[in-house]
Amino acid sequence: MKKYLLLFLLLAQSNFLIASQPNSDVMASNIAIVIHGGAGWSRNQTEEKLKSIEDGLKRALDEGFAILESGGTSLDAVEAAVVILEDDVTFNAGKGSVYTAEERQEMDASIMTGELQNAGAVASVSTIKNPIKLARYVMEKTEHVLIVGQGAEKVAIKGGLEVVDPSYFYSKEKLDRVRRQKTKDELSTVGAVAIDKEGNISAATSTGGRSNKLPGRVGDSPIIGAGTWAQNNLCGVSGTGHGEYFMRFNVAREICARMDYLGLSSDQASKQVIDELSGMGIEGGVIVIDKEGNASMIFNTDGMARAYKNSKGDEIVTIY
Ligand code: ASP
């Protein structure tokens, strides 16, 4: 009898705990992750290139999803997924970053988590192996949101993050690209958005920017609200495209604002905003997750490298 009483008390207590969670309306949400490897993949890719894009996406997706599945946070999941893409020379971020007009690499990255809308970002860094880790460090260990250039590199050294010689980022393919410039940009920035078991939404974006950019140019990827946004009970976004316009139209935040104020779905809001960019001849794409773990992957280019996985067993890895 005593045993049943104890069991009853335990159950009653656990129900009470669940009911008192602040995010109780999304407690039952799916865990899900969506990632992108840029929206500028034209149709004339070699079989080998297509395979490396899909392999990179799959590895990043699986890593991020495994973290969510084991009860990890969406912040850890998006960071881990982006680190894999940064380490993969296929993409324009970290190791595969494109070159500036002066044949150097300058990388930008940002990360945001939706519970308190906490965010961190770095821009114009040239020696940081994984800019997304430094963005997270800025968020968690400094009182700032965005730190650039040498200041950011000093923060990395102080924080014990991995600093490398700029030759680590050497890529013949990307150097050739900037030398014969005026070929169309690949827009192969990377990003990830995820929702975890607690209903927390996080987003991360990392890039080498645009090939042949002026030294010191900063794009949308490290700008909170432009290239990255995360807000619990609403949505998370990571963008890829012509950064100057993503900044001017505050694309990531704009999508979430339309979901919030107009009651649009993530598909409707993303399509509206991307359509508006198309109307101005601007190329790009976004990945979005809503508070139920539904994802939208919307782009107006030939192809956006993208992948999605959720706890219902849905999974895609695709480009066109
Ligand atoms: N949005 C990036 C930038 O303008 C480029 C990209 O998406 O590949 O820096």
Fold of 27-314: Glutamine Phosphoribosylpyrophosphate, subunit 1, domain 1 (3.60.20)
- What local confidence, expressed as pLDDT, does residue 187 receive? 87
pTM of the model: 0.90
Ligand 1 centroid–CA 140 distance in Å is 25
Which of helix, strand or coil describes residue 40? coil
Helix (H) or strand (E) holding 260: helix 251-262
DSSP string of 104-156, one letter each residue: ---EEEEEEETTTTEEEEEEEESSBS-HHHHHHHHHHHSS-SEEEHHHHHHHH
Q: Could you say which of 113, 189, 240, 301 is catalytic?
A: 189
- What local confidence, expressed as pLDDT, does residue 307 receive? 98
- Are 287 and 195 within 8 A, CB to CB? no
Q: What is the pLDDT along the chain (320 residues), one digit of tens a residue?
A: 455 544 444 444 444 444 444 333 334 458 999 999 999 999 999 999 999 999 999 999 999 999 999 999 999 999 999 999 999 999 999 999 999 999 999 999 999 999 999 999 999 999 999 999 999 999 999 999 999 999 999 999 999 999 999 999 998 988 988 888 655 566 899 999 999 999 999 999 999 999 999 999 999 999 999 999 999 999 999 999 999 999 999 999 999 999 999 999 999 999 999 999 999 999 999 999 999 999 999 999 999 999 999 999 999 999 99
- Are 99 and 87 within 8 A, CB to CB? no
Helix (H) or strand (E) holding 296: strand 295-299
Ligand 1 atom with the shortest distance to the CA of 242: 4
CA-closest candidate to residue 311, choices 291, 284, 293:
293
Domain parsing of the chain, residue ranges = 27-314
- Are 79 and 197 within 8 A, CB to CB? no
CA-angle at 212, arms to 163 and 132, nearest 5°: 30
Ligand 1 centroid–CA 5 distance in Å is 60
Q: Whose CA is nearest to atom 4 of ligand 1?
A: 243
Q: Which DSSP letter does residue 30 get?
A: P
Helix (H) or strand (E) holding 310: strand 306-310
- What local confidence, expressed as pLDDT, does residue 185 receive? 61
Ligand 1 centroid–CA 101 distance in Å is 15
Determine the Cα–Cα distance for residues 251 and 26; give it in Å rounded to an integer. 25
Q: Which of 53, 85, 187 to mutate to test the pocket of ligand 1 (most atoms within 8 A of CB)?
A: 187
Ligand 1 atom with the shortest distance to the CA of 189: 8
Helix (H) or strand (E) holding 236: strand 235-241
Other Cβ atoms within 10 Å of 201 Cβ, number: 33
Ligand 1 centroid–CA 142 distance in Å is 26
Query: Phi first, then psi: what are they for 216, rounded to 5°?
Result: 90, -10
- Residue 205 is among the residues annotated as catalytic for this protein: no
44 residue type, one letter: N
Determine the Cα–Cα distance for residues 197 and 62; give it in Å rounded to an integer. 17
> Tokens in use for 157?
């050294």
Ligand 1 atom with the shortest distance to the CA of 284: 7
Pocket of ligand 1 (CB under 6 A): 38, 92, 187-189, 207, 209-210, 219-221, 240-241, 243, 246
Ligand 1 centroid–CA 145 distance in Å is 20
